[in-house]
Amino acid sequence: MRIGFVSTYPPIECGIATYTESLTRALRAARNETFVVSQFGAQGPHVFPLYQPQSPSFAADVFYTSTRLTPDVMHIQHEYGLYGTQKGVELIELILRYRLAGLPVVTTLHTVYERLERDERILLKPILENSDAVIVHEDFQKQTLVDAFGLAERIHVIEHGVREVDPVPDAKARLGLEGKKVILLAGYFRPSKGFHRIVDLFPRIAERDPDAVLVVAGKVRNIEFDDYQRTFFGCLNRSPVIDRIRILRGQFPQYTFDTILSAADVMVLPYERGAQSGMFAQALALQRPVVASDLRAFRLLAGRSAAGLIVERDGDWVEAILRVLSDEALRRRMQANARRYVRERAAWRLVARRHVEVYRRVVTVPYGKAEYVYFPEPEGPQDARGGDRALLDRAS
């Protein structure tokens, strides 16, 4: 099957970009062809950087390029604000263009909250009505959409995929953290992540566990939340236990991030808002125990994986973190649970298979019993731009 994607893509720094990269790799490994139409800045084999997010010609540009590449189905990775003004209203025009052309569309909605705001209802209604299939990551997200719009038979639940990798064995030594109990905060610095709450509480943890250190690994993305970032770093620098805090910054290519994550004894996700988290998936991949806030998506994922503790009250963060740090048997049990959950349920190879099942439900093959054949080339250093140009030339 030939699957076209509309999505951000690395090296663009975005959780949706990372998600699409992992999904397309798994689909190609299962002998499907993929291509990605993305923002300027994206790179890779069969990746076409084509548009600026605010471009008024976004829908037409993406439509005409993607249809020249003759996909069997187009798969849109949706997140508010990725596709133009007013939370991405231009995406609706693109979906309508595909529908008029008779090209099946699957849309993954990465953010569906339990309660839909007015703007979300206005945007989601035409997306659901004009997509041939919609994918969400949790059962409650499907129920939210069904309660608001119906169309239950069109909505499919496929949980967030997770990489199958081994932890970096000498991670603590590489970071100079031998003998320490590492609490990790990782990701972009923004108010909804709640990192400031853990920084404020860390002196109490440090007082009770002399080996505990806090590692803050993240970066600033553009100039967003500039005021919060100044406040957050001021909080870090004024901490009475600043000598027990490590602040790591960088672009964090995957292996670098895997090394940082492998050094952690516990990853903390004190998010105040969110519908799912790629960071929880990263922790599961490296078999790191998680302590997370009581968001519904976190609670469900912690329950499925048995690899995380959920904090229901603000006053319980210190005890939950110290429990993981002090109980080696608990940490090992959570690590084993994470490994089993990924292998048996959430690995990208399994998630890709479920996506193909959805594609097959919406793709009509007009030529009888013909079998689609595709053997992916081994991935390696190559001139991606030259290969992509040749692909477009053949499609002309």
Strand partners, 218: 187
Q: At what angle do helices 328-341 and 296-305 cross, to 10 degrees?
A: 90
Look up the pTM and report it. Answer: 0.87
Same fold yes or no, 2-161+347-395 and 171-345 = yes
> What is the CB-side half-sphere exposure of residue 73 using CA atoms within 13 A?
24
Matching residue, tokens 């209203």:
89
Judged on CB neighbours under 10 Å (0-12, 13-18, 19+), 280 is buried
- CATH architecture assigned to 2-161+347-395: 3-Layer(aba) Sandwich (3.40)
Cβ–Cβ under 8 Å, residues 271 and 249: no
Helix (H, G, I), strand (E, B), or coil: what is residue 396?
Answer: coil
> What region does 174 belong to: left with phi over 0, alpha with psi -120 to 50, or beta?
alpha
Q: First CA to last CA across the chain, in angstroms? A: 20
Over its length of 396 residues, how does the chain's per-residue pLDDT go in tens digits? 999 999 999 998 888 999 999 999 999 999 999 999 999 999 999 999 999 988 889 999 999 999 999 999 999 999 988 887 888 899 999 999 999 999 999 999 999 998 999 999 999 999 999 999 999 999 999 999 999 999 999 999 999 999 999 999 999 999 999 999 999 999 877 788 889 999 999 999 999 999 999 999 987 665 567 777 788 888 888 999 999 999 998 778 889 999 999 999 999 999 987 766 789 999 999 999 999 999 999 999 999 999 999 999 988 999 999 999 999 999 999 999 999 999 999 999 999 999 999 999 999 876 566 777 888 777 655 444 444 555 555 454
Strand partners, 102: none
Distance of alpha carbon 267 from alpha carbon 256, whole angstroms: 16
Quick one: the chain helix, strand, coil %, rounded to 5?
45, 15, 35
Tokens of 62: 């993406």
Give the Å distances, CA to CA, from 195 to 93, 165, 186, 189, 302. Answer: 38, 27, 9, 8, 20
Domain covering 171-345, topology: Rossmann fold (3.40.50)
CA-derived radius of gyration, the chain: 22
pLDDT tens digits for 15-45? 899 999 999 999 999 999 999 999 999 999 9
Number of Cβ within 10 Å of residue 112's Cβ equals 24
Query: Where are the chain's structural domains?
Result: 2-161+347-395, 171-345
Strands 290-293 and 308-311, bridge-based pairing: parallel
Helix (H, G, I), strand (E, B), or coil: what is residue 66?
Answer: helix
> Where do runs of H (alpha helix) occur along 209-290?
226-237, 254-262, 278-285
pLDDT tens digits for 220-265? 665 567 777 788 888 888 999 999 999 998 778 889 999 999 999 9
Sheet holding 105-109, edge to edge: 47-51, 33-39, 2-6, 73-78, 105-109, 133-136, 155-157
